[in-house]
């Protein structure tokens, strides 16, 4: 098991380096430090000295990949790539371009509001999706199933923006059940969290129920289910005891892949509900064109995704004994 | 003077592909079966009618030309060099056909079918004094969906969003299909090092969160080029073409983030196909590798391409609205449902509520995405019965 995990991690290293190189090319070559300086200093009336000063202050006054002016190992180490991009590998995010804030510290504090909203959404949505999907699979072929699927397709055809705007208007403004937006720490945060959680669950319900329904239907047509029925098990026991266990692989794939989004939060949800998490941090950086932050967030997201992939593979071996550590 | 945007070419290509499919399905046996399956499905036919309407509107909105500027003397104005000056406004056939509702603008908001304005104003009363009241509209009861803040007809704005939605939904996939087929087929067919490289590329790309990759690309490339609205001479190349089009960049970038799924599917299918008897047989007869790929592999992965095309369509239309909301989608001058929602959000907090803008965007999007979803399922069932109920 341990060797398997180590090998999986070794496989991930080239991918991590690839992401690092890609972001470096994008952010340093296509968009040169000069462009960056001009954008931050304001597009108009920027002198060349101002640009040079800004680049020196923020450490962008070096060549990107290779510094011919230096000696020996410094040819490689005295470059933007080595100074700015490589430290991302050990999660040293550096400072932002615009306000010079510590990005790593900011990520640590903003992670918790993001988790406070995304974890309840994730668990509620998963439980509700699975429950409804199993119900539709149980009543497959009946009017309940047909109309359930129709409703799921209708739900998934509505833009998330409408769920948010409509929910805020109806539940927040007209019925005045919850505050429209905002965030607080501790126990007070609950009243702010209910509305985004309800909307978040609702907006992903259609896609989720439809997906898990097909997963269950596929299992239900298998031979082992026929055997279970033949030995006299009720349909409920067949679904919960046998089909659910065997459906774990597609369910897990879906679950683990969404791990990055738990930390990340949802970009627009946090924006609409004024939650000071990583999502709104990213959007603010996008709108302020602070590339140091965008770069860090791109990188953090990929790291989490790769960790998710490794966890998926490990979890397969835990739920399905047929999958071996190869 | 015609003006052809890069995204217009996408629409022309889409319409061409649809026409080709219809003609080809008259002769080709397997396509005939697919068509018969679809025609039998009445719900799918209704959805197709909706989609056809949207594509038709998008096509009308993609054929555009600039009028010559007419001077005071009624003659065409000429520049110093003696060439005709064209107006920077490239009106499409849709603009011209609907010039009635396009030009009938009011001062500000008005509710659907209203006869009076939304906002009170000071005006002359019947007896001569100044009273505050709702002024009558210039064109009462003609705005089916009301007017927006600057008095434009909302129905017209919603129709202008159609082209953006269709371009994003269709264009993105059209852009990625060649890449996905090329990389997927060579990875699956040749295997070995090529397979490793292709797999490495798409794993790396798909491990970057899609939204952020789009954001990064759009920040870097999207801000130059044609943003919608008036056509400036800077963007026109070869007299009539506008190739540096922000919407086209958006398609390309959405494509880069979403080609990996299709590529993976095609690679898997090719792996299966190359071991099949008929491929082995043609190998034994001495057919070249390229010949086998062209004659046997590519035609047999096309159903995956078509399925992905229709299934991705609706998701991409929804994504456009969100990207435009974040501010990295289409430019503010381009009519789009995302931009409509963006402005409509604040209108809900007005008193009385301005709801018609949001409702129009909602209805226009829903009437495209829902039929696209249902039709997509029908196409998938018709093309690949094994996938039914999946």
The 10s digit of each residue's pLDDT in A209-225 is 988 998 888 888 888 88
Taking the Cβ of residue A163 and every Cβ of chain B, the question of whether any pair is shorter than 8 Å is answered with no
Q: Which residues of A touch B341 (CB under 8 A)?
A: 159, 161-162, 165
pLDDT at B237 (0 to 100) = 72
* CA–centroid distance for B285 within its chain: 46
A30–B213: do the CB atoms touch at under 8 Å?
no
- Tokens 């210039």 correspond to B138
Distance from CA of A67 to the nearest CA of B (A): 25
Taking the Cβ of residue B220 and every Cβ of chain A, the question of whether any pair is shorter than 8 Å is answered with yes
Distance from CA of B17 to the nearest CA of A (A): 25
Average pLDDT on A272-289 reads: 83
Query: What H or E segment, with its residue span, contains residue B90?
Result: strand B86-92
Residue pairs spanning A and B at CB distance below 8 A = 109
The 10s digit of each residue's pLDDT in B286-308 is 888 888 888 888 888 888 888 88
Taking the Cβ of residue B346 and every Cβ of chain A, the question of whether any pair is shorter than 8 Å is answered with no
Query: What H or E segment, with its residue span, contains residue A272?
Result: helix A267-272
Taking the Cβ of residue B321 and every Cβ of chain A, the question of whether any pair is shorter than 8 Å is answered with yes
Question: In chain B, which residue ranges form alpha helices assigned H by DSSP?
Answer: 6-27, 29-40, 42-60, 93-97, 99-103, 154-166, 172-190, 192-207, 210-217, 246-273, 277-284, 289-292, 298-326, 337-347, 356-383
Check pLDDT > 70 for residue B262: yes
**Sheet with B86-92, side-by-side order of all strands:** B86-92, B64-68, B2-5, B241-242, B236-237
B208–A283: do the CB atoms touch at under 8 Å?
no
Most confident of A88-97, A300-309, B50-59, B64-73: B50-59
Taking the Cβ of residue B208 and every Cβ of chain A, the question of whether any pair is shorter than 8 Å is answered with yes
Taking the Cβ of residue A260 and every Cβ of chain B, the question of whether any pair is shorter than 8 Å is answered with yes
CA–CA separation, B111 and B144 (whole Å): 9
Check pLDDT > 60 for residue A325: no
Instruction: Please name which of B215, B162, B131 lies closest in space to residue B51, comparing C-alpha atoms.
Output: B162
CA B95-B161-B118 angle, 5° bins? 85
Q: Which residues of B touch A27 (CB under 8 A)?
A: 216
Say which range, A275-289, B123-137, B157-171, has the weakest mean pLDDT.
B123-137
Say which range, A37-51, B84-98, B329-343, B355-369, has the weakest mean pLDDT.
A37-51
ipTM of the predicted structure? 0.81
Q: Is the dihedral of CA B282, B286, B291, B292 positive or negative?
A: positive
Given pLDDT bands bounded at 50, 70 and 90, which one contains residue B389?
very low
Distance from CA of B89 to the nearest CA of A (A): 28
Given pLDDT bands bounded at 50, 70 and 90, which one contains residue B365?
very high
Q: In chain B, how long is the greatest CA-to-CA distance?
A: 100
Does the global pTM surpass 0.80?
yes
Taking the Cβ of residue B213 and every Cβ of chain A, the question of whether any pair is shorter than 8 Å is answered with yes
In chain A, whose CA is at the least distance from the CA of B317?
Answer: A159
Using CB atoms, which residue from A26, A165, A217 is nearest to B358? Answer: A165
B208–A298: do the CB atoms touch at under 8 Å?
yes
Check pLDDT > 60 for residue B132: yes
Instruction: Please name which of B113, B266, B97, B57 lies closest in space to residue B177, comparing C-alpha atoms.
Output: B266
**What percentage of chain B carries pLDDT values higher than 90?**
13
pLDDT at B344 (0 to 100) = 81
Number of CB atoms found within 10 A of residue B232's CB: 11
**What percentage of chain B carries pLDDT values higher than 70?**
96
Backbone angles phi, psi at A265, to 5 degrees: 70, 180
User: For residues B161 and B362, is the Cβ–Cβ distance under 8 A?
Assistant: no
CA–CA separation, A254 and A236 (whole Å): 24
Q: Side-chain half-sphere of A51: how many Cα atoms within 13 Å?
A: 15
Average pLDDT of every residue of chain B? 83
Distance from CA of A65 to the nearest CA of B (A): 20
Mutation pick from B200, B203, B218, B345 vs chain A, by most beta carbons of A within 10 Å, is: B203
Given pLDDT bands bounded at 50, 70 and 90, which one contains residue B390?
very low
Virtual torsion, Cα A99, A100, A103, A106, nearest 10 deg: -60
* CA–centroid distance for B309 within its chain: 13
Check pLDDT > 90 for residue B330: no
Taking the Cβ of residue A14 and every Cβ of chain B, the question of whether any pair is shorter than 8 Å is answered with yes
- Tokens 């026991």 correspond to A237
pLDDT at A326 (0 to 100) = 52
Instruction: Please name which of B320, B156, B337 lies closest in space to residue B246, comparing C-alpha atoms.
Output: B320
Q: Which residues of A touch B221 (CB under 8 A)?
A: 30
Q: Report how far apart, in Å, the C-alpha atoms of A310 and of each of A127, A253, A256, A262, B281 are.
A: 24, 11, 9, 17, 40
Given pLDDT bands bounded at 50, 70 and 90, which one contains residue B333?
confident
Given pLDDT bands bounded at 50, 70 and 90, which one contains residue A128?
very high
In chain A, whose CA is at the least distance from the CA of B372?
Answer: A157
B373–A214: do the CB atoms touch at under 8 Å?
no
Q: Which residues of B touch A271 (CB under 8 A)?
A: 326
Taking the Cβ of residue B374 and every Cβ of chain A, the question of whether any pair is shorter than 8 Å is answered with yes
pLDDT at A185 (0 to 100) = 72
The 10s digit of each residue's pLDDT in A311-322 is 888 888 777 777
B373–A282: do the CB atoms touch at under 8 Å?
no
The 10s digit of each residue's pLDDT in B211-246 is 778 877 777 776 677 777 777 777 777 777 777 778
Mutation pick from A24, A152, A159, A173 vs chain B, by most beta carbons of B within 10 Å, is: A159
pLDDT at B183 (0 to 100) = 93
The 10s digit of each residue's pLDDT in B156-168 is 889 988 999 999 9
Q: In chain A, how long is the greatest CA-to-CA distance?
A: 84
Check pLDDT > 90 for residue B182: yes
- Give me B107's structure tokens: 């001062």
The 10s digit of each residue's pLDDT in A14-26 is 888 888 888 878 7
CA–CA separation, A78 and A68 (whole Å): 10
pLDDT at B92 (0 to 100) = 84
Average pLDDT on A177-193 reads: 76
ω into B352 cis (within 30 of 0): yes
Taking the Cβ of residue A291 and every Cβ of chain B, the question of whether any pair is shorter than 8 Å is answered with yes
Check pLDDT > 90 for residue B56: yes
Check pLDDT > 70 for residue B374: yes
pLDDT at A132 (0 to 100) = 93
CA–CA separation, B280 and A241 (whole Å): 44
Using CB atoms, which residue from B326, B348, B374 is nearest to A286? Answer: B326
Given pLDDT bands bounded at 50, 70 and 90, which one contains residue B369?
very high
Using CB atoms, which residue from B220, B318, B345 is nearest to A159? Answer: B318
Distance from CA of B291 to the nearest CA of A (A): 34
pLDDT at A263 (0 to 100) = 66
Start-to-end C-alpha separation, chain A: 9
Query: What H or E segment, with its residue span, contains residue A103?
Result: helix A103-138
Given pLDDT bands bounded at 50, 70 and 90, which one contains residue B63?
confident
Q: Report how far apart, in Å, the C-alpha atoms of A111 and of each of A103, A122, A143, A196, A276 are.
A: 12, 16, 44, 17, 9
Q: Which residues of B touch A268 (CB under 8 A)?
A: 322, 325-326
The 10s digit of each residue's pLDDT in B20-41 is 888 888 887 777 878 888 888 8
Taking the Cβ of residue A235 and every Cβ of chain B, the question of whether any pair is shorter than 8 Å is answered with no
A298–B327: do the CB atoms touch at under 8 Å?
no
Mutation pick from A162, A297, A306 vs chain B, by most beta carbons of B within 10 Å, is: A162
Q: Side-chain half-sphere of A230: how many Cα atoms within 13 Å?
A: 6
Average pLDDT of every residue of chain A? 81
The 10s digit of each residue's pLDDT in B70-104 is 777 777 777 777 777 777 777 888 888 888 777 78
């Amino acid at each position: 098991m341990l060797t398997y995990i180590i090998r999986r991690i070794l496989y991930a290293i080239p991918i991590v380096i690839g992401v690092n190189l890609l972001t470096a090319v994008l952010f340093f070559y296509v968009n040169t430090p000069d462009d960056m300086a001009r954008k931050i200093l304001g597009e108009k009336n920027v002198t060349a000295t101002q640009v040079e000063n800004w680049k020196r202050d923020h450490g962008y006054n070096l060549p990107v990949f290779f510094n011919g002016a230096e000696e020996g190992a410094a040819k490689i180490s005295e470059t933007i790539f080595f100074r700015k991009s490589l430290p991302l590998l050990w999660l040293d995010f550096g400072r932002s371009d615009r306000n010079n804030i510590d990005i790593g510290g900011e990520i640590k504090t903003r992670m918790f509001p993001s988790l406070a909203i995304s974890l309840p959404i994730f668990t509620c949505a998963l439980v509700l999706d699975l429950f409804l999907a199993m119900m539709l699979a149980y009543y497959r072929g009946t009017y309940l199933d047909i109309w359930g699927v129709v409703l799921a397709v209708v739900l998934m055809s509505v833009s998330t923006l409408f769920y948010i705007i409509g929910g805020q208007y109806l539940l927040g403004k007209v019925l005045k059940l919850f505050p429209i937006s905002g965030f607080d720490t501790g126990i007070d945060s609950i009243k702010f969290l209910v509305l985004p959680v309800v909307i978040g669950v609702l907006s992903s319900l259609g896609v989720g129920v439809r997906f898990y329904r097909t997963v269950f239907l596929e299992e239900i047509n298998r031979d082992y289910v026929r055997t279970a029925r033949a030995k006299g098990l009720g349909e409920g026991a067949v679904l919960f005891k046998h089909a659910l266990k065997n459906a774990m692989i597609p369910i897990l794939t879906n679950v683990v892949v969404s791990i990055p989004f738990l930390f990340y939060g949802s970009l627009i949800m946090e924006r609409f509900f004024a939650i000071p998490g990583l999502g709104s941090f990213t959007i603010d950086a996008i709108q302020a064109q602070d590339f140091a932050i965008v770069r860090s967030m791109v990188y953090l997201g990929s790291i989490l995704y790769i960790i998710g992939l490794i966890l998926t593979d490990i979890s397969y071996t835990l739920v399905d004994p047929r999958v071996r550590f190869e | 003077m015609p003006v052809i945007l890069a995204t217009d070419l996408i629409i022309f290509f889409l319409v061409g592909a649809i026409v080709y499919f219809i003609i080809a399905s008259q002769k080709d046996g397997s396509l005939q079966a697919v068509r018969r399956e679809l025609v039998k499905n009445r719900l799918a036919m209704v959805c197709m009618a909706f989609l056809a309407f949207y594509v038709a509107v998008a096509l009308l909105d993609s054929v555009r030309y600039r009028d010559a500027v007419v001077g005071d003397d009624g003659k065409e104005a000429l520049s110093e060099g003696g060439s005709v000056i064209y107006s920077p406004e490239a009106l499409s056939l849709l603009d011209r056909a609907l010039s009635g509702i396009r030009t009938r603008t009011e001062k500000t908001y008005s509710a659907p079918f209203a006869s009076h304005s939304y906002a009170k104003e000071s005006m002359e009363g019947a007896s001569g004094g100044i009273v505050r009241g709702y002024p009558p509209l210039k064109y009462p009861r003609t705005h089916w969906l009301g007017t927006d803040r600057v008095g434009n007809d909302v129905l017209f704005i919603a129709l202008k969003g159609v082209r953006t939605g269709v371009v994003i939904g269709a264009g993105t996939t059209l852009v990625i299909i060649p890449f996905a087929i090329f990389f997927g087929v060579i990875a699956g067919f040749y295997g070995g090092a090529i397979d490793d490289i292709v797999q490495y590329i798409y794993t790396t790309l798909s491990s970057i969160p899609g939204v952020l990759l789009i954001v990064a690309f759009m920040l870097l490339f999207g801000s130059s080029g044609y943003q919608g609205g008036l056509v400036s001479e800077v963007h026109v190349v070869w007299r009539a073409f506008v190739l540096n089009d922000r919407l086209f960049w958006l398609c390309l970038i959405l494509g880069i983030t979403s080609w990996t799924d299709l590529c993976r599917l095609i690679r898997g299918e090719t792996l299966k196909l190359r071991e099949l008897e008929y491929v082995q047989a043609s190998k034994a007869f001495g057919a070249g590798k390229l010949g086998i790929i062209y004659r046997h592999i590519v035609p047999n992965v096309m159903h995956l391409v078509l399925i992905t095309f229709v299934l991705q369509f609706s998701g991409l239309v929804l994504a456009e609205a969100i990207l435009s909301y974040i501010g990295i989608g289409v430019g503010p001058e381009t009519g789009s449902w995302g931009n409509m929602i963006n402005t409509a959000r604040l209108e809900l907090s007005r008193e009385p509520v301005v709801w018609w803008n949001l409702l129009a965007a909602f209805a226009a999007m829903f009437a495209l995405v829902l039929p696209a979803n249902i039709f997509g399922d029908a196409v998938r069932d018709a093309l690949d019965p094994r996938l039914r109920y999946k």
